[in-house]
Amino acid sequence: MTDKKGNSLERVLAVLEVFTEDRLEWTPEQLMEELGYSRPTLYRYLKTLKEAGLLSSMPNAGFTLGPKVVEMDYLLRQSDPLILKGERHLAELTRRFSCTTLLVRWYGNRILCVDSRTSAKDPLSSYPRGRPMPMGRGAIARSIIAFLPRRHILPRIEASLEDLRSVGLGATVEEIHDNLKRVRKAGYAVAKGEVTPGVVGVAAPVFDAGQSPIASLCVTIAAELVDTKVVEEIGTCVREAAASLSAELSADRRAPAERQRVRED
Amino acid sequence: MTDKKGNSLERVLAVLEVFTEDRLEWTPEQLMEELGYSRPTLYRYLKTLKEAGLLSSMPNAGFTLGPKVVEMDYLLRQSDPLILKGERHLAELTRRFSCTTLLVRWYGNRILCVDSRTSAKDPLSSYPRGRPMPMGRGAIARSIIAFLPRRHILPRIEASLEDLRSVGLGATVEEIHDNLKRVRKAGYAVAKGEVTPGVVGVAAPVFDAGQSPIASLCVTIAAELVDTKVVEEIGTCVREAAASLSAELSADRRAPAERQRVRED
DNA sequence: CGCAAAAATCCCTTAAAATGAGATTTTGGA
DNA sequence: TCCAAAATCTCATTTTAAGGGATTTTTGCG
């Protein structure tokens, strides 16, 4: 069984958590075992989730995620200021370099690509929209961690110490911290082949009026296409684009257009 | 207030329902009024939904749908047999005709585009992935209704009587029913300009081992590109593609590959 | 920098609602 | 048509969610 307990709200939503890339389909029996719910309870949950459209089941086959998910994703694409305002910058960067650009949101302990665009003839990235990436390695993760408020950085370094070390960012926590300070100073992070071999990532954080980054803008490009100088050039562009995007986001905030309410009663 | 009542599971999930194309952002106050929940209750719900990633809120701005939605959509794209097996047919139809093809799932009282592909130079359809379409008009809706078990057809005709009449399908319930029988016999439905002016839709139902259709495969094409003969040709293709897709789906069902369970403990 | 206003959370009792063992009905496949 | 498996129902029991009001935390502003 995965989770301890929680209130019934959390327990219903916990059902959604077991659907992963490794396991996209579950039978009620399997869910009972995995989640430790009783039969009637599980069926009640499933019924509710199914009615909400979050799950769907073909008769007597397993359950999978449902159509409401597709609908919500569509709505999200229309509502997320990050995506809406980021598009322009993605386009600009892909125009300027032969690369794949990613707009990646930070949430919980993951980072998640919410939009991407490519101009490389042979795209190398394996992270399309919606595929979560682990924190801990790669330019994106580092571009976010480096810009966290001081007291949040150290715990994160410790949590991902293995990864950060193996990536050559330093041997001790202090050394790594120093390197992250350098990232912070430069305004962008660079990683060579940390996520995908032969691919260089250059990422800069995106802020939303607050002090902590909420997302990262990243250019990934084939290593053979770049040298130190070009990486610097890309870094500058990415940093500026990210800064500009951040500014747009917080400007939007300051003048919150009160959208009209549409009722149907 | 939108909904009457329901158990707390339904009430939490009802929060997700208020996010629509007309209203993509809600403040807690507005949600309290709209849903009729008390303050602590609403905040509890919001907290839970936010922790699950289904909602997100930028400090003191409104709430919007959250990143988990993007992740689930990605998973869904990988797991939905309809999408996976349908892709081939969409590709084939778009290759053969200069058109937009849609794969549309039926759920509740809506139909929802889950995949689409276009080969027309100037795509006219305004229903991208995730945008729900109303039942009641259009070839897609009709291709589904016509193939429902007898006892489900009449209530649906009555429910959408206005629409069906205005579309010229007949004046009385009987007349409309006759027309639907004809659709059933032909194996596909045709609609001219019912959804988008100047666009002809040709749709056939997709089944999943059961008697009721679960989806529809549709070709939309500029009216000026087709005459009766071509429409018939398209109809035949669409019907055959849909039948083939249905067969693939139920074959898959009959030999349910037991996917391995991956645990991490 | 610190204050006032608003937002979000907490507390705690009551009332309501979720739970689950087992019986029962429905479903879908042969 | 019938049978086994799947899904739902029943109902006594206990857990737990609800919400008025107080409290703490955050935010905007002087």
pLDDT tens-digit series, residues B99-144: 999 999 987 678 899 999 999 887 777 788 999 887 878 999 999 9
CA atoms in the 13 A half-sphere facing the CB of B117: 15
DSSP string, A55-110: EEE-TTS-EEE-HHHHHHHHHHHHH-HHHHHHHHHHHHHHHHSSSEEEEEEEETTE
Is A215 among the domain residues?
yes
DSSP state of B225: G
B63 pLDDT more than 60: yes
Q: Are B69 and B52 in contact (CB under 8 A)?
A: no
Q: Which nucleotide is nearest to B29 (CA to C1')?
A: C7
Is A248 among the domain residues?
yes
- Which chain A residues have a beta carbon less than 8 Å from that of B49? 13
Question: What pLDDT sits at residue A132?
Answer: 86
Q: Sort A76 into a burial class: Cβ within 10 Å, 0-12 / 13-18 / 19+.
A: buried
Residue nearest to nucleotide C18 (CA to C1'): A8
A205 pLDDT more than 90: yes
Considering the domain architecture, whether residues A19 and A139 belong to the same structural domain is answered as: no
Q: How many other C-beta atoms lie within 10 A of the C-beta of residue A185?
A: 8
Considering the domain architecture, whether residues A147 and A233 belong to the same structural domain is answered as: yes
Range of the domain at B27: 9-70
Q: Tens of pLDDT along A57-83?
A: 876 578 999 999 999 999 999 878 889
Task: Say whether residue A10 is in contact with chain B using an 8 A CB cutoff.
Answer: yes
B4 pLDDT more than 60: no
Distance CA A130, CA B74 (A): 5
A261 pLDDT more than 80: no
List the 17-46 stretch of A: residues with Cβ below 8 A of B: 17, 19-25, 30, 44-45
Q: Which of A85-99, A234-248, B197-211 has the lowest mean pLDDT?
A: B197-211
Is B2 among the domain residues?
no
Is the shortest CB-to-strand distance from B7 to strand C under 7 Å? yes
Q: What are phi and psi of A132, to 5 degrees?
A: -75, 145
Nearest Cβ partner for A75 among B21, B76, B80: B21
Is A265 among the domain residues?
no
Average pLDDT over residues B145-154: 80
- The confidence band for B253, taking pLDDT boundaries of 50, 70 and 90, is low
Is A12 among the domain residues?
yes
Q: Which of A157-166, A195-204, B80-89 has the lowest mean pLDDT?
A: A157-166
**Domain limit, last residue, from A68, A89, A119:** A68
Distance CA B143, CA B16 (A): 30
Is A261 among the domain residues?
no
Q: What are phi and psi of A137, to 5 degrees?
A: -140, 160
Distance from CA of B174 to the nearest CA of A (A): 31
Considering the domain architecture, whether residues A53 and A128 belong to the same structural domain is answered as: no
Q: Tens of pLDDT along A126-143?
A: 788 998 887 878 999 999
Considering the domain architecture, whether residues A139 and A225 belong to the same structural domain is answered as: yes
**Domain limit, last residue, from A68, A93, A120:** A68
**Domain limit, last residue, from B70, B104, B119:** B70
B260 pLDDT more than 60: no
CA-angle at B33, arms to B30 and B38, nearest 5°:
110
Question: What pLDDT sits at residue A96?
Answer: 96
CA-CA-CA-CA dihedral for B30, B36, B40, B43, to nearest 10: -50
Considering the domain architecture, whether residues A109 and A204 belong to the same structural domain is answered as: yes
- What is the number of CB-based contacts under 8 A between chain A and chain B? 176
DSSP state of B53: T
Average pLDDT over residues B74-101: 92
Task: Say whether residue B211 is in contact with chain A using an 8 A CB cutoff.
Answer: no
Question: What pLDDT sits at residue A241?
Answer: 96
Q: A133 has which bridge partners?
A: A111
Considering the domain architecture, whether residues A32 and A121 belong to the same structural domain is answered as: no
Is A157 among the domain residues?
yes
Q: Which of A186-200, B43-57, B115-129 has the lowest mean pLDDT?
A: B115-129
A206 pLDDT more than 70: yes
Is A243 among the domain residues?
yes
Considering the domain architecture, whether residues B123 and B213 belong to the same structural domain is answered as: yes
Considering the domain architecture, whether residues B100 and B21 belong to the same structural domain is answered as: no
Task: Say whether residue B112 is in contact with chain A using an 8 A CB cutoff.
Answer: yes
CATH number of the domain within which B18 lies: 1.10.10.10
CA distances for B25 relative to A6, A47, B44, B45, B59, angstroms:
28, 28, 18, 16, 13
- Which residue in the block uniquely carries the two structure tokens 């939007």? A252
Average pLDDT over residues B8-35: 92
Q: What is the domain count for chain B? A: 2
- The confidence band for B264, taking pLDDT boundaries of 50, 70 and 90, is very low
Q: Tens of pLDDT along A29-51?
A: 999 989 999 999 999 999 999 98
Considering the domain architecture, whether residues A85 and A57 belong to the same structural domain is answered as: no
Residue nearest to nucleotide D16 (CA to C1'): A7
Considering the domain architecture, whether residues A34 and A154 belong to the same structural domain is answered as: no
Considering the domain architecture, whether residues B107 and B152 belong to the same structural domain is answered as: yes
Distance from CA of A237 to the nearest CA of B (A): 26
List the 44-103 stretch of A: residues with Cβ below 8 A of B: 44-45, 48-49, 51-54, 56, 58-59, 61, 64-80
Q: Tens of pLDDT along B194-243?
A: 988 999 999 999 987 767 788 999 999 999 999 999 999 999 999 999 99
Give pTM, 2 decimals.
Answer: 0.84
CATH number of the domain within which B97 lies: 3.30.450.40
Of chain A, the percentage scoring pLDDT greater than 90 comes to 51
Considering the domain architecture, whether residues A156 and A224 belong to the same structural domain is answered as: yes
- Which residue in the block uniquely carries the two structure tokens 């009640």? A44
Question: What pLDDT sits at residue A108?
Answer: 67
